[in-house]
Amino acid sequence: MHPIERYLPWSIRILIASLFIVSAYGKIYPDPSAYGTISMFEIKQLYPLGFSIEWAKIFSRSLIGIEFGLGALLLFPFDLNKRVIPALIAMLSIFVVHLIIQIITSGNSGNCGCFGALLPMTPLEAIMKNILSIGLLILLSKRYGKSWPEKSNFWFLTTILSLSMLLMFVTIPTYKAAVQTQSSSNDKQPQPSKSTTQTMLIDSTSISDQKKDSTNEVAPKPEGPKMKKSGYEKYFSNINEGKKILCFFAPSCDHCRATAKQLTAMKNSIPGFPEMQILFMDEAAEEIPSFFEFAGATYNYKVMDIIEFWGALGNDREVPGVVYLWNGNVVKFYHGPEGAAAFNKGDLKTQLEKKKLR
């Protein structure tokens, strides 16, 4: 037998097994741009299909567990031709169909999530990878399948798959959905310092005195464009009054924290910087105090249910999200950790200096 023929079957098995195991690991690999990749899969793929929060958790972790288990089973001599290889081909075929639909509906852009944040890959690249894998599995089964003894051990297969799925439920943390998404969050917010409180009282007194002194004066015409409803007033009642900054952040997102820190620096250096308010996604909400500590200031905020959060931000956008509003008009909507649409403090400063909207 030629050396290639001798080592090719095991080479294929190790290659495909590695692809499945790495793919499973990639889906739980922490993404520093936001949060666990598995949450992105649930939010972007499962919720639009009608999955509830609980069923999305179960399905996503089970799917990753099956992917990991099948990859491992390819390295064992049990039911390869009868069950393992057909199951691998079926899973890859389903992925191919899903990716084709994704390209048709959303185009061949962004990370398909096959390897999570570990190895970004476009949908078309993933399709090519999956078709090549299917071809190698068919070659492995048809050409070399008869050369190895077929051993049957159904209980071994089910045990490995069950343990793999159980491992996913144990190792992957789950988030808790917020029950009250529009309730006041002042009790959750770190208390301002004494000096900050005094400043707020002085400002309130000054405004009150100004109102008393100007009772006979004609109120000035509001600056800026005509006021309109932005749709965000259900979260913050004054969001459509004057200039405002509305942020969409995940508490554990490194890019969100960096953006909040840049906004704090702008607030401290630019006179009359707009009031800043934050909508937090309810994932790792316990990290909000450390978020504000890193940002260098505290802001009025609300914690939102994860599904409502993405509905407000927009499923086609990514965190961090920063919206500059003027009398309810969306002047600029920055979103995502990088790219043309990502937050840019220089551009925001330019937008703030404009006297009117085009």
pLDDT digits (tens, 9 = 90+) for 27-68: 877 654 444 567 767 776 777 677 777 888 889 899 999 999
Q: What is the rounded distance in angstroms from the CA atom of residue 281 to the CA atom of residue 250?
A: 5
Residue range 197-213, pLDDT digits in tens: 333 333 433 334 444 44
Q: How many helices (H) and strands (E) does the chain have?
A: 11, 5
Instruction: Kindly tell me the sign of the dihedral angle through the C-alpha atoms of 60, 173, 102, 249.
Output: positive
Residues 17-42, buried b or exposed e (16+ Cβ, 10 A)?
bebbbbbbbbbbbebebbbbbbbbbb
Domain with CATH 3.40.30.10 in the chain: 224-353
**What pLDDT, on the 0 to 100 scale, is given for residue 102?**
80
pLDDT band (50, 70, 90) for residue 289: very high
Query: Model pTM greater than 0.75?
Result: no
Domain 224-353, CATH 3.40.30.10 — does that match? yes
Range in 53-62, 177-186, 326-335 with the lowest mean pLDDT: 177-186
C-alpha span between 171 and 163 (Å, rounded): 12
Stronger pLDDT, 173 or 71, i.e. the higher one: 71
Q: Convert the pLDDT of each residue in 234-266 to its tens digit.
A: 999 999 999 999 999 999 888 999 999 999 999
* Closest to 277 measured CA to CA, from 164, 184, 343: 184
pLDDT exceeds 60 at position 302: yes
Strand partners, 303: 280
Separation CA 243–CA 222 (nearest Å):
11
Pairing of strands 275-281, 300-304: parallel
- What was the pLDDT predicted at 252? 86
